[in-house]
Amino acid sequence: MITFITGNKHKVEEAKEIFNNFNIEFKYMDLGYCEPQGTLEDVAIAGAKYASSKLKKSVIVEDAGLFIRALNGFPGTYSSYVQETIGNTGILNLMKGFDDRYAEFRSVIGYCTPKTEPKTFLGHVKGQIAFQEKGEDGFAFDPLFYIEDKGKTFAELSIKEKNQFSHRRNSLKLFINWYKDNFTD
C-alpha cells in the first residue's frame, strides 16, 4: 500500500489511474508540509522524510514544475506560486516575441519509509508553450502545454491519454518499477 501525500486533487486523479494499471494499492492524504526553497529533489526529499516520520509509514510525495527554455527555466520550482499569481495569461505575456517555445514539465517523486532514507525518481515530458490557451481538461498550465506529436495541449487530452506519457507517469513508472523490485515494507 502506497500513501501519496498531496493537496492537489488533479494529481490524485492521475496517480490513481497509473497505480491501478500497475495493480498497486494506493491511497492519498493531504497532510500539508512546509516546502523548503530548493530544487524539485530538495522539496521531494524534505516532504517525504517529514511525512513518513510523522505518519510512521511509507509515503510518496511529488514536486513538479514547468521549465520554459526561453525564460531560463522559469517558473520551474516557483510553478505553484506563479500559477496562483500571474497564471497562464501572465506566462503568455512573458512569452510574447519569443520564437523558442520549448518547455518541459518535470516531476520528482520522493519515497521514504520511517526506517530508510528518501529516494527520488525524476520524470519529464517535452512540449511547446502554445500561443493561446486551449482545452478544458487537466489543470494549471495544461491549456498552455502543446504536444507536437499529438497536435493537442495537455488540456485537450483525457487523463488516460495524458497518463500515457506525462512527466508524472514517467516519474511514477520509475518509482513503481523500483518499488516492485525492492519491496521492503
Min. distance of Cβ 18 from ligand ITT in angstroms?
Answer: 12
Determine which residue in the list 52, 83, 120, 171 makes contact with ligand ITT, applying CB under 6 A.
83
Q: How many residues does the chain have?
A: 185
Determine which residue in the list 24, 80, 174, 178 makes contact with ligand ITT, applying CB under 6 A.
80
Indicate the SS3 state at residue 36: coil
Indicate the SS3 state at residue 35: coil
CB hemisphere CA count around 113 (13 angstroms): 9
Determine which residue in the list 28, 111, 121, 141 makes contact with ligand ITT, applying CB under 6 A.
141
Min. distance of Cβ 142 from ligand ITT in angstroms?
Answer: 4
Determine which residue in the list 15, 46, 140, 172 makes contact with ligand ITT, applying CB under 6 A.
140
Identify any residues that bridge with 121 across adjacent strands, giving them in sequence order: 109
Q: Interacting stretch for ligand ITT, rule CB under 6 A, among 52-60, 78-86, 88-96, 114-122? A: 78-86
Q: How many chain residues bind ligand ITT (CB under 6 A)? A: 20
The C-alpha cell at 181 is 523490485
Under the binding rule (CB under 6 A), the answer on residue 11 touching ligand ITT is: yes
Under the binding rule (CB under 6 A), the answer on residue 69 touching ligand ITT is: no
If you search the block for the grid coordinates 519569443, which residue do you land on?
A: 98
Min. distance of Cβ 123 from ligand ITT in angstroms?
Answer: 11
Q: Interacting stretch for ligand ITT, rule CB under 6 A, among 2-10, 48-56, 111-119, 172-180? A: 2-10
β-pairing, 59-68 vs 26-29, is: unpaired
Min. distance of Cβ 79 from ligand ITT in angstroms?
Answer: 3
Identify any residues that bridge with 75 across adjacent strands, giving them in sequence order: 67
CA distance 61 to 6: 7
Q: For helices 9-21 and 167-181, what crossing angle results, to 10°? A: 50
CA distance 158 to 109: 22
Given the rule CB under 6 A, which residues bind ligand ITT? 6-8, 11, 62-66, 79-80, 83, 105, 138-142, 154, 168
